[in-house]
Structure 1
Amino acid sequence: MKNTLLLCLLIIGGLHLQAQHSVPTDYFSNPLDIPLILSGSFGELRSNHFHSGLDIKTQQKEGLPIYAPADGYVSRIKVAHYGYGKALYIQHPNGYSTVYAHLQKYAGAIEQYVKENQYNKESFEVELFPEASRLTVNKGDIIGYTGNSGSSGGPHLHFEIRDGASRPMNPMLFGIDIPDTKKPLINSVMAYPISDDAHVNKSQNPIKLRLMLQKDGSYKAEKITAHGKIGFGVSAYDQQDGASNKNGVYKITTHYNGTESFKVLFEKFSFDETRYLNRFIDYYYWMNNKSRVQKLFREANNPLSVITYENDNGFIVVEDGFSSNYTIEVTDFKGNVINITVPIEGTNEEILEPKTVTKTDDFIYANQATSISKGKFSVYIPANSLYEDTFLNIQAQGDTLLLHEDVIPIHKNITITVDASNYDPKDLDRLYVGRLNYRGDPYYNTTTRKGDKLSAYTRTFGSYVLVADTTAPLVKALNFDDGKWISKNETLRFKITDDLSGISSYRATVNGKFILLEYDYKKDVLTYDFDDGVITDTENNLKLIVIDNVGNSTTFEATFFRK
């Protein structure tokens, strides 16, 4: 009896485990009724994160209908100026959820619900969590329309499928079919000496390998000489049919003398780990060459789950007098493969190029918190903000701080504090800490003040400066004039700009009633849609207040007439 019970429990547990790992391939339909062509793939390497969905091209147009791929209910709505812009989240009965971003607008009852809440909160930016019974959808219902809102570089639909723990998964696993008959493409292969005695081609620094295209379409690297523990990296991308975009690959597998060494698989990850992309890539090479090399080994402080197999963390040890082969196999989701072979001759020879280390006065231990003072600046680096111990070049001159250079990734926010006691107290609220771009212009960093000290967080090395902004934003009406009739207008549109700290907030009223303005920061344009039905009078007195990030404000007033 006990054995039978145990057998039943094992069978049930096995079935449960199998159910946990099975992915329904015929549950979700396509969210768009057009051929699916990608401008971005799942797991693609982006700035500070892995791409969490598919970017589906919308034929360079906005306003295409988006269809619910399965039954469910709207569980979350977020409208923001940046990031996902207008985003929609649908929870499905099978435990998965789908996400739609950069929308132009929502559809039907969803749009009405959003507008009601925006007017109630008197804010364009809202985050809403409707009750499960409030906004239900059936498979095939129109839920919204494609757009270019938020931090989008052009019209497209960002589409995600997430598991029950809100981890994004590759939508192609669920049967979302993207035609792809092209092999991945290879940019470069790098070799990295790791151990103190290691070298490649007589160098202890990273080496870019020379690749030769073979008749069968594979690549073979020029033979390298090496010794000690070394690792490799590859820069590769994929192109699906109908698109020239350099999208991410699906799988990378390496072998050393025929034995599997390392595997990266882009099927699922957690948002908590996505910033570790900066540890996974060769960040220094990326910042200097604008090509992301994926390191095919796991270093300390790299917990990424997309690494699904590793033998000795993906490193290989080359011994003197032995010849060997290292192979890299890059695969897309459709199984198109490109192979790279690296012949290695084990030779412990004289090192002609020792490891390059620039020593400075400030050496940072990654696992320890560090405070550094330079001039009127102080820098606080929390423990584990950096991935490894390193020297930093930190210097201050007047109101400018040189905080190393952006060739080392920062994982956690570090704090920059500046003593502004030499400024007139009445000017302190107009100061901010800005990061200088390549043109020498200061980007606004969110800055707080306590007494005569100003502080800002950052996760980017570079030059920072204390900036005074005493200039108010500029406001200009784009499609109407003061005192004129505009009965045929569908919208009110304004151009708003601020040259230094940037736009923080805005608010408009007509005849004392709040009107909702949508902000397109990419075009510096505010838009009111008369379809909102708020403006019903013939004579209308408009008042628009725009405030920048340090509190300078501009009030724009005008009168218009409308039947």
Structure 2
Amino acid sequence: PHLHFEVRNSSTQNPINAMQYPVEIVDTQRPQIQNLYLYDGIHPDSNKKEFVLVRKNDSTYTTAGVITEGSVNVGLRLFDRQDLSYNKNGIYKAKIRLNGVLQYEIEMDEISFNDSKYINLLIDYKEWAQNKNRIQRFIKHPMQKMTFLEQAMPDGQMQIESGKSYQILIEVSDYHNNTSYIEAYFTGTNSTSKPPVKSYNISPDQDYLYDFGDKSVYFPKRSFFDSVSISVINESKILSVGENIYPLQKAYEVRFKVLEEDSLIQKQSFIATVNSKNQTSFFSASQKDGNWTGKSNVLAAYTLSRDSVPPEIKPLNFKNKQWLSDYSYLRLKLSDDYTGIQKYCGEINGRWILLEHEPKDNTLIYDFNDLEIEEALHQLKITAEDQVGNTSELIMDFYRKPKNK
């Protein structure tokens, strides 16, 4: 458990950058730029080219090269750190200029909860999904209506003409105004070949239903930000819904018909996602009118699976009937090998107790300071239930000397 603090605008309830307030944080470090990319479009399928950066001095990187005529926009791998922490943070603001003319600007003073639907437009989603490299894109998508982006400003698309020379100046800063720069010098050139014309079978302006009888997929309007090309394939027990390379604006619906009549097997069954290694994971769905139905924000493959194994509850720092007078806490391991834990509950002597859950290592901790006792013998009872209703129960006795004796 942890506390989460926010400073919000009282009129809009939008979270405000807390660095605007007198918080004493030592920060003399400039943002660190790892890679520079130029993209030839906004679409997730746009081509990108990396340019090698050379460190000119403590604050400035430089590069040069030839770029094909047309539109280009910037992508960067970068992070920022504060002096007394190794945490990698994002930047506070950025400006991009082409031959001295402002092309893009971002400043993170305030953010709306509604902005979360656009968050995947801030990165190269395809690169992140395939290789886990986070490239921040400095481009404003037509569908991207984030509160920290001025709607009237340029969208970051820079026009390059053959035979002309250009300087792209990039400034990235943290809140304490530590700034790093990229000075990039390019010459425009003619394209040697025409890029292939890409055809797309899904338009964001329409809805689509793929019905295979025992399975179906439904994309409502505005599921995607762009026109995309995906394949929906029903093959044996697996329903494949495209490849996870496109960000979604709205969740789509996956349906599987319930075929099993046995009530226990039916209760333990669920829709699972299937990865490239044919490994399955629990997918949250509900059963209604003879169908399993769930919604997803990620393109994936799905199948019906079953979980009949209950959760495991294991004491870590104590044994049954042990004297625990010198112990300050109880620690237990709570795990489930498939669908995951849905809920758990703890009691001592029939009374509910507060258990602290640490998700990093799936442990439960009980603090003995919360216990008021008059007797030495106590009974601990822990129950746990996984996502499909399999339950486990741990009952153990322990001894502890009352505080007043």
TM-score for both structures, normalised by structure 1: 0.65
Q: CA deviation at 1:295?
A: 2.0
Higher helix proportion, which one? 1
Equivalence for 1:254: 96
Equivalence for 1:161: 7
User: What CA distance in whole angstroms lies between the structure 2 residues aligned with 1:309 and 1:332?
Assistant: 23
Check if 1:192 corresponds to 2:39. Answer: yes
Alpha-carbon contact 1:429-1:550 (below 8 Å) kept: yes
User: What CA distance in whole angstroms lies between the structure 1 residues aligned with 2:163 and 2:142?
Assistant: 30
Aligned pairs for 1:114-513 within 5 A: 159-164=5-10, 165-194=12-41, 205-215=47-57, 217-308=59-150, 311-351=153-193, 354-355=195-196, 357=198, 363-374=201-212, 376-422=214-260, 424-436=262-274, 440-513=278-351
Q: CA deviation at 1:279?
A: 1.0
Alpha-carbon contact 1:256-1:324 (below 8 Å) kept: yes
Equivalence for 2:370: 532
Q: CA deviation at 1:526?
A: 2.1
Q: CA deviation at 1:179?
A: 2.2
Aligned partner letter, 2:75: G
Give the stretch that moved more between structures: 425-434 or 533-542: 533-542
Alpha-carbon contact 1:262-1:310 (below 8 Å) kept: no
Identity level (%): 28
User: What CA distance in whole angstroms lies between the structure 2 residues aligned with 1:236 and 1:439?
Assistant: 31
Task: Show structure 1 runs of 5+ residues with no match.
Answer: 1-84, 88-100, 102-158, 197-202
Aligned partner letter, 1:330: V
Q: CA deviation at 1:301?
A: 0.9
Is the partner of 2:69 in helix, strand or coil?
strand
Is the partner of 2:256 in helix, strand or coil?
strand
Equivalence for 1:543: 381
User: What CA distance in whole angstroms lies between the structure 1 residues aligned with 2:58 and 2:393?
Assistant: 68
Aligned partner letter, 1:528: Y
Task: Show structure 2 runs of 5+ residues with no match.
Answer: none
User: What CA distance in whole angstroms lies between the structure 2 residues aligned with 1:245 and 1:220?
Assistant: 26
Cα 1:257–1:168 change in 2 (3 A) is same
User: What CA distance in whole angstroms lies between the structure 2 residues aligned with 1:378 and 1:468?
Assistant: 20
Is the partner of 1:175 in helix, strand or coil?
coil
Is the partner of 2:267 in helix, strand or coil?
helix
Aligned partner letter, 2:130: N
Equivalence for 1:68: none
User: What CA distance in whole angstroms lies between the structure 1 residues aligned with 2:13 and 2:63?
Assistant: 41
Cα 1:484–1:179 change in 2 (3 A) is closer
TM-score for both structures, normalised by structure 2: 0.89
Alpha-carbon contact 1:195-1:229 (below 8 Å) kept: no
Cα 1:289–1:473 change in 2 (3 A) is closer
Check if 1:520 corresponds to 2:343. Answer: no
Q: Which runs of 4+ in 1 moved over 6 A?
A: none
Aligned pairs for 1:28-67 within 5 A: none
Give the stretch that moved more between structures: 484-493 or 548-557: 484-493
Aligned partner letter, 1:557: I
Cα 1:539–1:331 change in 2 (3 A) is closer
User: What CA distance in whole angstroms lies between the structure 2 residues aligned with 1:423 and 1:413?
Assistant: 30
Alpha-carbon contact 1:261-1:309 (below 8 Å) kept: no
User: What CA distance in whole angstroms lies between the structure 1 residues aligned with 2:373 and 2:197?
Assistant: 67
Q: CA deviation at 1:261?
A: 1.4
Q: CA deviation at 1:255?
A: 0.9
User: What CA distance in whole angstroms lies between the structure 2 residues aligned with 1:216 and 1:178?
Assistant: 22
Alpha-carbon contact 2:104-2:138 (below 8 Å) kept: yes
Aligned partner letter, 2:30: K
User: What CA distance in whole angstroms lies between the structure 2 residues aligned with 1:391 and 1:333?
Assistant: 40
Aligned partner letter, 2:380: L
